[in-house]
A = this chain, B = another copy of it.
Amino acid sequence: MTALTAAQRELLDSQVVGVMATQPPQGHPLQSVVYYVRDEEQLLISSVAGRRKVEDVELTGWASLCVMSFTHPYPSATFSGSTKVLTEHIGGPTAALAQRFMQLDEPPEPQTDEALASVGRVILALTIERVAAISHLG
């Protein structure tokens, strides 16, 4: 865990997407755009079992997320740390992420873990242990 600064929290809470990097045991890192929500010093990302980013996290227990504001000079930082694949108690964050993804006024009714498991839904939970590449922030 690391203590986020006010500017870092503000950046994370002002955006809904970031670029996630995962690292396979062999081969090159993978980057992709993901929706996230912040829960204290964790970043939660919805994904599907079997996707490469989920497999990477299962194998390495690590990920990073680079988040930026969308106007010049593009304030940004990269948040990284231990990352887990969660399949329990994931109804709430999955609904919060669906709200962002579908641009709904309210989050949809949370689904049960069983219902989410039946379609392979998982949550990647990144514990922020390091903040790097900090640019134009505070």
Set B31, B33, B62, B133: member contacting A64, Cβ < 8 A: B31
Chain B residue with Cβ nearest A133: B32
CA distance in complex: A17, B67 (Å): 12
| CB-nearest residue of chain B to A65 | B31
- Please provide the chain A residues from 42 to 80 with a CB less than 8 Å away from any CB of chain B in the complex: 62, 64, 66, 68, 70, 72-74, 76, 78, 80
Contact partner of A70 (CB less than 8 A), chosen from B30, B70, B103, is B70
Q: Interface size bucket, A side?
A: 20 to 34
Q: Does A78 contact B30, Cβ atoms closer than 8 Å? A: yes
Q: How far is the CB of A131 from chain B (nearest CB, A)?
A: 12
Are A19 and B31 neighbours in the complex by a CB distance under 8 Å?
yes
* A99 in the interface (beta carbon within 8 A): no
With A17-B74, A68-B19 as given contacts, are A31 and B28 in contact (CB-CB < 8 Å)? no
Point out residues on A near B: beta carbons under 8 Å: 17, 19, 21, 23, 28-33, 62, 64, 66, 68, 70, 72-74, 76, 78, 80, 101, 103, 132-133, 135
